[in-house]
Homo-oligomer: A and B are copies of this chain.
Amino acid sequence: MKRFIAPAALLLACSPSLADEGMWTFDNFPAQTVKAKYGVTIDQNWRDTVMAASAKLGAGCSSSIVSPNGLVLTNHHCVRSCIQANSTAVADYVQDGFLPAKREDEKRCPGMAVEILTSISDVTQVVNAATQGAAEYLKAREGAIAAIEKEACDSKEALRCQVTALYQGGQFKLYTYRRYSDVRLAFAPEKRIAFFGGDTDNFTFPRHTLDFALVRLYENDKPVKTPQHLRWSAANPAVNEIAFVSGNPASTSRLMTVSELEGLRDIILPNTLLTLSELRGTLTQFGTESPDHARQINNYLFGIENRFKAYRGRFDALLDPVMMARKRAAEADFKAKVKANTDLAASIGDPWAELEKVQTQRLALEKPYLWLEARAGYDSDLFEYARAIVRGTIEREKPEKERLREFSDARLEGLKSFLSRERVFYADLDRVLLTFWLSKLRENLTPGSQAATLFLGKESPESLAGKLMQSRLADPAYRKALWEGGRKAVDASDDPMIRLVLLTDAASRAARKTYEDQITAPTERAEEKIAKARFAIYGTSDYPDATQTPRLSYGAVEGWNEFGTEIASFTYLQGLYARATGKTPYVLSERWSMAEKKLRPGVVFNFTTSNDVTGGNSGSPVLNARREVIGVIFDGNAASLGGDYWYDGRRNRAIALSTAAITEALKTVYHQEALVKELMGK
């Protein structure tokens, strides 16, 4: 199949969606565009089958049904908690993989559910009718949505009904899901190969990672019959063949204005990145100091590094002059269309100017907000406990609607149990985090500032952190006593961390209020106006921002050009052995080391596609035109991180594991003949 190449000029055109852009809903897929561009027919039947064979998995993953007996393909990293939960002192499935000898040995994943979308219906008019003229808009909307959901599901346990706002509230759709709560682990490879390259290779390509696992749906202790499944391809994908991805992208912010993107590029992301990179250095060195420090830091540092890379990718994306020019052109086109519509223009005013003003205010407000409020304590457990106790005991005395939003009745319950629960406390790590926070507070707000003087008094960051370590808040009994004793107990406490929060909380709250009044609220107001105008002008010719609901994207199997260097779309099994250095994170299990000679070296291992995907698409099937699954998405390249803001057809690539490699591994490395037969439909 030959792929049409879009002329370069098209990149700068102003229509909302371009190239292979878009996370389309199943009921509004641009089949005609696909037909025109690729000559491939995606009819109703094609879409219905794919929708019925696609599934949400767990909290934030995607998956697909790949056999008539309820077998589900997803990522290893999507079921890692299940593998962990089933491991014991004698059977470490994370380390060794999970290879049941027979179907009866498949093991239940505690708490895991899989949901398949069965129908979409438009309830926009019902919601709008209920909110029209309502005194309390939000309350009326919530009531209408709850009623629709209740009626549709009618307490059928196996269903879940959810009304989703698309186009920022331009449309309301009722999504009905068939829910499966008995999900069992059917196969998992060892973590070493499933996470080969580790965090080092995260968001990069070339890649050699077997990031898949198989689970199975059960009902009444029997595998679920799933006649509407996807066919399995054991063949290598072909360069430039069309590719579809079905999954549940979590969220995007593609309506952001140019000034909002500049605010991200110039203020928010640099502040975040500079803090994360310094903390990363601090913690990496901390981890080298002793096995105990390495253990304390392990998970936390992984999270910091992952966030650093994700934000760095977004920052780099925003530096692209071509994409920024395209965004500017699109915004100019949109504004011109709004201006041409006199009523619309009058009703929304100039939200773009409002957002521009907000970015200028950020220069003054971002740092106090970060260091006094949003990042205060920088993940120190002691600080988190103290603030929760000090604020919680004040807030809970107020009527619910006057409280800070994190102290709603529902969340107060969770907070109470959080405070009284026993948790591991890493004192050395906590001290490092406290020192870091206080030192960055002083630096960013300047040493002579009122705020720095308030927090530090006559102490240095190091000496104050040392004194705060005398806090008794690591003890759940003490936390419980303070929480139950309420304000009186808190005010009487001589705990140094409680005293610090009592001393500084007014300043922190003031920084937050200023930020919310001058940044958050005007941003939300302006964005709402822009979304409204956007839907009025472009309607459903555009795709809606991702909302954790099923979407279908189209693209092609292809590499990309990274600033002059061609990155090929494929890696092969043989490449794995060249990459395996024996040093973390490039270490093979014995099983894989032994298999080198037996594996066919030319099998495609990982590959990239131009599909528009984002977080939440992990585990999504990649389909060819014949509706066969040819891979499973497990990552995106660095440029895909800009997917939050836009789709860059030149460089944004999804990263998939090929079903060819899965088949080869199941056969040759794992000897799973029964599974292979089931997948191949024999």
Contact = CB atoms under 8 A, between A and B. Distances in A.
A426 interface: no
Contacts of A274: 273-274, 277, 312
A364 to B, nearest CB: 3
A351 interface: no
Given A278-B277, A459-B583, A583-B463, A447 B197 contact: yes
A286 B204 CA distance: 30
A486 B552 CA distance: 64
A350 interface: no
A286 to B, nearest CB: 5
A448 B201 CA distance: 8
A458 B273 contact: no
A207 interface: yes
Interface in A281-301: 281-286, 289
Contacts of A278: 277-278, 280-281
A206 to B, nearest CB: 4
A468 B315 CA distance: 34
A584 interface: yes
Given A270-B315, A448-B207, A459 B360 contact: no
A281 B463 CA distance: 18
Contact of A319 (B266, B312, B459): B266
A583 B460 contact: yes
Interface string A386-417: 00000000000000000000000000000000
Contact of A270 (B204, B270, B436): B270
Contact of A282 (B205, B285, B581): B285
A484 to B, nearest CB: 37
Given A204-B447, A447-B197, A281 B270 contact: no
B270 A200 contact: no
A564 interface: yes
**Which of A279, A436, A563 has the most chain B CB atoms inside 10 A of its CB?**
A563
A582 interface: yes
Nearest to A204: B446
A593 to B, nearest CB: 14
Contact of A285 (B432, B581, B584, B586): B432
A204 B285 contact: no
B273 A281 contact: no
A456 B581 CA distance: 10
Interface string A206-220: 110000000000000
A362 to B, nearest CB: 10
A442 B205 CA distance: 13
Nearest to A206: B448
A674 interface: no
A563 B458 contact: no
Given A458-B581, A463-B583, A564-B364, A285 B277 contact: no
Nearest to A285: B285
Contacts of A270: 270, 273, 315
B447 A363 contact: no
A112 interface: no
A111 interface: no
Contacts of A133: none
A330 to B, nearest CB: 21
Nearest to A263: B319
Contacts of A283: 281, 285
A267 interface: yes
A274 B273 CA distance: 7
A321 interface: yes
Contacts of A638: 446
Contact of A279 (B267, B281, B286, B320): B281
A320 to B, nearest CB: 8
A128 to B, nearest CB: 40
Nearest to A637: B446
A442 B202 CA distance: 12
Contact of A363 (B282, B563, B579): B563
Contacts of A583: 458-460, 463
A205 B447 CA distance: 8
Contacts of A458: 581-583
Contacts of A581: 456-460
Contacts of A442: 200
B273 A363 contact: no
Interface in A570-585: 579, 581-584
A607 to B, nearest CB: 14
Contact of A321 (B282, B360, B448, B584): B360
Interface in A255-276: 265-267, 270, 273-275
Contacts of A459: 581, 583
Most buried by B among A274, A279, A463, A581: A274
A573 B456 CA distance: 21
Contacts of A584: 460
Contacts of A457: 581
B285 A319 contact: no
Contacts of A206: 448
Given A285-B285, A289-B289, A460-B586, 12 more contacts: A273-B274, A274-B274, A275-B277, A279-B281, A281-B283, A281-B285, A281-B436, A285-B286, A458-B581, A459-B581, A460-B581, A463-B583
The 8 closest A-B pairs by CB, nearest first: A281-B281, A364-B563, A281-B282, A460-B583, A285-B285, A278-B281, A458-B581, A206-B448
27 contacts: A200-B447, A201-B447, A204-B447, A270-B270, A273-B274, A274-B274, A275-B277, A277-B281, A278-B278, A278-B281, A280-B281, A281-B282, A281-B283, A283-B285, A285-B285, A285-B286, A285-B432, A319-B363, A320-B363, A363-B563, A364-B563, A446-B638, A448-B579, A456-B581, A458-B582, A459-B583, A463-B583
Interface of A: 197, 200-201, 204-207, 265-267, 270, 273-275, 277-286, 289, 312, 315, 319-321, 360, 363-364, 432, 436, 442-443, 446-448, 456-460, 463, 563-564, 579, 581-584, 586, 638
